[in-house]
Amino acid sequence: MGALLSIATIAAMGAFFSFGHRVYGDNLPIVHFADKPALLPVKKRDGSGEIEHLSIKELLETRCGTLFTGFKPLWWLFNGHLQTIYCVMGNFSKNDLMWYNRVYLRLRDGGTLGVDFAPADQSKVKADAPIVIVQHGLTGGSYEPYVRAILSRACAPVEEGGLGYRAAVINFRGCAGVPITSPLLYSAGHTDDTRQALLYIASQYPNAPLLGLGFSLGSNVLTRYLGEEGEQSRVHSACVLACPWDLKQNNHGLLQSFTGKHIYSKGMGGNLLRLLKKHLHALIQDPDHAVAKAAGAAMQLKNPTLEKFDDTFTRIAGGPSPHFPFRDADEYYVWGSSHNMVGKITVPFLAINAADDPVVRHVPMDGGGNGLVVMELTKGGGHLGWFQAGRGFVDRWTTKPVLEWLKLVGEDLVHDPTPKGPAIYTDEDGFLREKGRDNIGCKVIPGGGVIDGNGGEDGILQGL
């Protein structure tokens, strides 16, 4: 009932505020390149197999042309509020259908990840085909319509108009049906689960380039991973959509308006609280554990904002020591932000945000002065929306430029064949490990198999 009331409230408030926020005039995006865009090795387009070095700016202008075109929203979704509302309320059950083959990974701390591979039948996918590594939003998973919109095309066979790629969606602990098996959840700043999933994927497909693709909170995790890893990154390139960047600044921005606080912040806080309720039993096995105590306190919250939930639970349970627990939500936000990581990224990186996103109001358009980084800001699109008219259905503007980017970095870009990341080995307990990292390790456990990725998760609002 609470979720339905939240949707109704969002719809009513969004409709009210929509009249003052129409999209007028020039709708071309702002695309920012560094003063000295990086040169990248690419295959010549004449089919000769020869390699040339072109700037990332020239490559995007000539091979990713849709990035520079204007976003034209559906007439009835003409501002950021309505675009964002439709992410939550829209019916996407008949479009971009996806099935996955799930693999469960047990981590060295006892936790569990669910990695969903697509297509479900991979018998016809080349062993060295590029792999799209997906990090989903706040409480989402591989079922999210914004994920399926891209993967349904990227994983389709070439003869059917697709890219013929493989995909691997890293479902966070507790999301998309993944069980909680240790006293730990996830957060916007904790990246070790990403490392462990990538460790497994890279061990299975050592010759495949890994192409990162992040959405909202998952964008933040992916960006932080790239900045932390630097030259050791197992990911060869990345594209992030609706990244929240400076968590403290954007959270405070949410709390400054009625709609930000009572609609979006409480919508996200409510989703996290419902997720916690689903897994409460697993998190309170040891009543004396700090996470169990935090879970008990969080269960007493009534319609919390995102900040209130994070201050009560995430700052304690969103990752292991030595970083966690934090003193308060703001300290966690400062630590977990990604805007200060952009300058450290060492692979081609594209970020797309919308200027009318009601959730993310502050975007670091300078790209940290990094020649590998491209920042794009569209005039409209809301938070993970970008809805435009499709052929008989509602489509997303971002799908085509992201696919063009994936084709560029997956097929045209010449990758260094040297394996990336620390050396991989298997220990005496069957865990895949990385040399020099005692806390990193994973192994496949029973379960998983083919799953229907189109149904969503009971009680959790989609699109957030």
Reading the chain (464 residues) residue by residue, the pLDDT tens digits are: 344 444 445 444 554 454 444 443 578 999 999 999 999 999 998 888 899 999 999 999 999 999 999 999 999 999 999 999 999 999 999 999 999 999 999 999 999 999 999 999 999 999 999 999 999 999 999 999 999 999 999 999 999 999 999 999 999 999 999 999 999 999 999 999 999 999 999 999 999 999 999 999 999 999 999 999 999 999 999 999 999 999 999 999 999 999 999 999 999 999 999 999 999 999 999 999 999 999 999 999 999 999 999 999 999 999 999 999 999 999 999 999 999 999 999 999 999 999 999 999 999 999 999 999 999 999 999 999 999 987 777 899 999 999 999 999 999 999 988 888 999 999 999 999 999 998 899 999 999 999 999 988 888 889 88
Q: What is the pTM of this model?
A: 0.95
**Which residue in 143, 144, 194 sits closest to 170, CA to CA?**
194
Q: Please name the residue ranges forming H helices in 299-395.
A: 306-309, 315-317, 329-336
User: What DSSP element (H or E) covers 461?
Assistant: none
For 155, 165, 260, 333, 339, the CA distances from 151, given in Å and listed in that order, are: 6, 9, 31, 30, 27
- Domains along the chain with CATH numbers: 2-268+341-452 (3.40.50.1820)
Q: Which single residue is written with the structure tokens 């971009």?
A: 96
**Which residue in 215, 273, 262 sits closest to 460, CA to CA?**
273
